[in-house]
Amino acid sequence: MDNFFKEAGEIFNGFSLQDALDILLISALIYISFKFFIKNNALALVKVSVLLVAAALLINMIGLRISGEIVKYFLLTSYIGVLVLFSSDLKRNIWTSRKRLHFDKYMESNTEEELKAATEEIVKAVQNMAKRDTGALIVFVNNQPPAGIVESGVVLNSEISSQLLESIFIPKSPLHDGAVLIKGNKILAAGCFLPLSLEINLPKEFGTRHRAALGVSEAHNLTSIVVSEETGIISIAKDGQLKRYIDGEMLKTTIEGIYGLSSEKAETRWHRKK
């Protein structure tokens, strides 16, 4: 037993505070990487990159050798991950940067009556499409539309009506596969392509529309309504989460919340259902 304590003391004889910090930082990097690979999406990658840069600055100040070398490789890996995982988004942004559309003239404010009428038309259209199992994806834009998304579709700038929305998503129509962008009481564009969510733990029954709805909520913090063409189930994507089996009342209160028409009732009900 005495020999054991003697040998243990010799091992930790040269152990310093810097060695302890080295071990803690390496453990933290391993933990962060493990969490990232479990939840592999854009937000997680951004968080990992920010933490790695902060860790690199701290390590440089303290002068830790082992952690410094490991962080270099982690940073290189994260940069390669951005190029690989988001190559399509980078290409789209590069090619569309020279032809951005500006919707300032379409950003006029709406009256409360106009927004209430638009809400009724959207709810009516979504419920009708759900009854017929017609797939649909509707995205609500709060301010300037995200660059690259509007350009991918056809600009309409038309007043919302249930008939127009339903006609856009008729199967085999030219615009039915893309998303409709709505701002106030206007349909800005249709047939738009959205960034897909990189979440790997989604249910198998979620198709491209559901992944696109989650993707635009993750990348641009926009709320979307999805109608499944297989089941007619209505879903809402918001804040990186997707809720299914939305009824008419929930649909209406959610849209009113987007338009700023509702009281706290709509938001409270949404959070209570999480």
Q: Is residue 91 part of a domain?
A: no
* Average pLDDT rounded to a whole number, residues 116-141: 96
Sign of CA dihedral 35, 37, 39, 40: positive
Q: Would 268 be classed as within a structural domain?
A: yes
What mean pLDDT value characterizes the chain?
Answer: 77
Report H helices in the chain.
2-11, 17-38, 42-62, 65-85, 87-96, 112-131, 162-168, 208-220, 248-259, 264-272
Same domain, 165 and 255: yes
> Which of 25-34, 81-90, 252-261, 263-272 is predicted most confidently?
252-261
Inside any domain, residue 96: no
CA 210 to chain CA centroid, Å, is: 11
Residue 171 zone, left/alpha/beta (φ > 0; ψ -120 to 50; rest) = beta
Higher pLDDT: 23 or 212? It is 212
- In sign, the C-alpha dihedral spanning 253, 257, 263, 268 is positive
Q: Rounded CA gap, 122 and 125, in Å?
A: 5
pLDDT of residue 2: 54
Mark whether 48 and 160 lie in a shared domain: no
Count of structural domains, the chain: 2
Residues 254 and 132 in one domain: yes
Q: Give domain status of residue 73, yes or no.
A: yes
The CATH number of whichever domain residue 208 belongs to comes to: 3.40.1700.10
State how far the Cα of 118 lies from the Cα of 66, in Å rounded to an integer: 60
pLDDT digits over 144-158, tens only? Answer: 777 778 888 999 999
Range of the domain at 68: 2-85
Q: Flag whether 93 is in a domain.
A: no
Segment 235-252, tens digit of pLDDT: 999 988 999 999 999 999
